[in-house]
């Protein structure tokens, strides 16, 4: 299928959202054809990997037909995603579909309206194919749902898909969708991108509103007010930029959401860039495979002309920063629990597992300690912003290793033979951008010795998405195309 202007389109399932939108607007493919192709692929391949847990075939085809009619209607206004099929993380409200966040008490909860971001994507013309799997209340970096079962990695079905946007990461990688809407309070749009070989963007905290997203349960006081954010998973940086521009900005529901303009993405060259690189942090030593990918990517940038330097904030206390992130997360998730529930955590204060100690500290709901955490959070932000005064982005791992074989949460994560507490290890790299609220973009940068994708993240200054996207576009051009899992190439 020829697209003109130098572009050649293949099967619609293998196109990015941006290119597919352009082909639909130009009349070179119909929305119905694109949607039917994705629905056929989902029906044929989704079963074993369980990425999508709800498919709205009738609704998607109806919307696609309407999109095609609008194309021939004089004066019709076409949105940036007109007729493009997408998927949505199950934790977001999609009118008429269940929203459970894999939480059994919500198994019968049917959304009566769209979440703000879903409504914005629909208004841009997107056609919603269905919803993707999550762990219970989005609380894990694996995706094992008590309601919908386990999502498996398309590169190796024994391994984790990541989480909590695990179903979405798999759906994008397996070419079930070109674009997914996810959420991230501790790496949940970033680790699935890393584990599945795709791109993702965690925006600046409160760049994007979260109205209509669980785990703030329906009808319950909103407690999750810090560090969480919402962003896209896709197969190109152009798609991340497009999605961000559609979903960003306050919606009148949440006081924290700020009307900060994104601005134009600068057209940068490698020679313009100053990149700080962190190969491994003091919390968890990355695998040899991961270290090699960091080194190779740094060399790739340097060879292209970028100024690359190993760097981290002067005197930065990584353990204190991780504890502050974990404590703040625990404060938010425990805030509405009765004392009788919180008391069972008190005895864990001397646990060898740092996440258990954090649960014990936060369970007391000590307001003085809570404000001290917020104060130290400000200090961590200043340290990281100061580092970025002298660098355009900070390149580092997303996770300590490539996708691990699925396991229980009580078992340690083993990285190159060394065991670490599960939750601590799984958040040891992606926590920082949540603590500071800075934006972070994941790109697929290499592979492990077992042929599993390894992504790296570029972090920028708060509200600096435009510049960060510009940096990411430079790196994207130096890397091979977004990889396809071997068993999903046709």
3-state secondary structure the chain: CEEECCEECCCHHHCCHHHHHHHHHCCCCCHHHHHHHHHHHHHHHHHHHCCEEEECHHHHHHHHHHHHHHHCCCCCCCCCCCCCEEEEECCECCCCCECCCCCHHHCCCECCCCCHHHHHHHHCCCEEEEEECCCHHHCCCCCEECCCEECEECCEEEEECCCCCHHHHHHHHCCCCCEEEEEECCCCCHHHHHHHCCEEEECCCCCCCCCCECCCCCCCCCCCCCCCEEEEEECCHHHHHHHHHHHCCCCCCCCCCCCCCCCCCCCCCHHHCEEEECCCCCCCCCCHHHHHHHHHHHHHHHHCCCEEEECCCCCCCHHHHHHHHHHHHHHHHHCCCCHHHHHHHHHHHHCCCHHHHHHHHHHCCCHHHHHHHHHHHHHHHHHHHHHCCCCCEEEEECCCCCCCECCCCCCCEEECCEEECHHHHHCCCCHHHHHHCCCEEEEEEEECCCCCEEEEEEECCCCCHHHHHHHHHHHHHHCCCCCCCHHHCC
Report all structural domains of the chain as residue ranges with CATH numbers, in order of start: 2-273+460-488 (3.90.1300.10)
Q: What is the pLDDT, as a whole number, of residue 473?
A: 98
**Rounded (10°) angle between helices 367-387 and 318-334:** 130
Question: Exactly one of 31, 102, 145, 164 is catalytic; which is it?
Answer: 164
Question: Which among 416, 411, 428, 421 has a CA at the least distance from the CA of 284?
Answer: 428
Q: What is the pLDDT, as a whole number, of residue 7?
A: 64
pTM exceeds 0.95, yes or no: yes
Q: Is 440 a catalytic residue?
A: no
Q: What is the pLDDT, as a whole number, of residue 10?
A: 66
Q: Please state, in angstroms and rounded to a whole number, the distance separating the CA atoms of residues 55 and 70.
A: 24
Question: Exactly one of 31, 102, 145, 188 is catalytic; which is it?
Answer: 188
- Within 8 A by CB and 6+ apart from 93, the residues are 99, 111, 113, 114, 115, 118, 212, 213
Question: Exactly one of 89, 131, 202, 473 is catalytic; which is it?
Answer: 89
Q: Is 164 a catalytic residue?
A: yes
Burial label for 359, CB within 10 Å (0-12, 13-18, 19+), is buried
Q: What is the pLDDT, as a whole number, of residue 4?
A: 45
The residue ranges of the chain whose pLDDT is under 50 are 1-4
């Amino acid at each position: 299928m020829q697209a003109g202007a130098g572009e050649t389109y293949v099967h619609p399932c293998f196109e990015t959202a941006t290119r597919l939108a352009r082909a639909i607007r130009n009349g070179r493919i119909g929305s119905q054809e694109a949607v039917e192709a994705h629905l056929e692929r989902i029906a044929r391949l989704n079963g074993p990997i369980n990425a999508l847990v709800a498919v709205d075939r009738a609704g998607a085809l109806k919307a696609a037909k309407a999109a095609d009619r609008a194309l021939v209607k004089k004066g019709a206004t076409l949105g940036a995603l007109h007729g493009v099929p997408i998927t949505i993380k199950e934790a977001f409200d999609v009118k008429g579909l269940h929203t459970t966040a894999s939480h059994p008490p919500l198994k019968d909860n049917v959304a009566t309206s769209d979440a703000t971001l879903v409504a914005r994507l629909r208004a841009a013309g997107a056609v919603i194919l269905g919803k993707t799997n999550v762990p219970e209340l989005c609380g894990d970096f694996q995706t094992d749902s008590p309601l919908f079962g386990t999502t498996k990695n398309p590169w190796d079905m024994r391994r984790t898909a990541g989480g909590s946007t695990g179903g979405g990461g798999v759906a994008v990688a397996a070419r079930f969708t070109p674009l997914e809407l996810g959420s991230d309070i501790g790496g949940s749009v970033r680790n699935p991108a890393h584990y599945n070989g795709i791109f993702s963007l965690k925006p600046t905290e409160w760049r994007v509103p979260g109205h209509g997203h669980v785990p703030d349960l329906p009808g319950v006081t909103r407690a999750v007010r810090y560090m969480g954010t919402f962003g896209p998973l896709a197969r190109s940086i152009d798609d991340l930029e497009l999605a961000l521009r559609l979903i960003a900005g306050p919606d009148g529901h949440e006081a924290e959401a700020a009307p900060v303009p994104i601005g134009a993405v600068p057209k940068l060259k490698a020679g313009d860039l100053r990149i700080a690189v962190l190969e491994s942090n003091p919390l968890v030593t990355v695998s040899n495979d991961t270290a090699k990918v960091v080194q190779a990517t740094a060399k790739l940038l340097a060879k292209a002309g970028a100024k690359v330097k190993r760097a981290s904030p002067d005197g930065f206390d990584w353990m204190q920063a991780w504890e502050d992130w974990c404590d703040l997360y625990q404060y938010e998730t425990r805030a509405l629990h009765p004392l009788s529930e919180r008391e069972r955590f008190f005895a864990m204060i001397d646990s060898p597992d740092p996440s258990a100690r954090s649960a014990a500290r936060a369970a007391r709901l000590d307001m003085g300690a809570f404000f001290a955490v917020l104060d130290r959070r400000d200090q961590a932000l200043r340290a990281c912003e100061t580092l970025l005064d002298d660098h355009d982005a900070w390149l580092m791992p997303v996770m300590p290793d490539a996708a691990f074989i699925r396991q229980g949460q009580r078992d340690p994560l083993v990285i190159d033979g060394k065991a670490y507490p599960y939750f601590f290890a799984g958040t040891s790299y992606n926590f920082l951008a949540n603590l500071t609220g800075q934006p972070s973009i994941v790109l697929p940068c290499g592979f492990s010795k077992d042929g599993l994708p390894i992504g790296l993240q570029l972090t920028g200054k708060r509200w600096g998405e435009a510049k960060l996207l510009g940096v990411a576009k430079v790196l994207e051009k130096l890397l091979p195309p977004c990889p396809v899992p071997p068993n999903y190439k046709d």
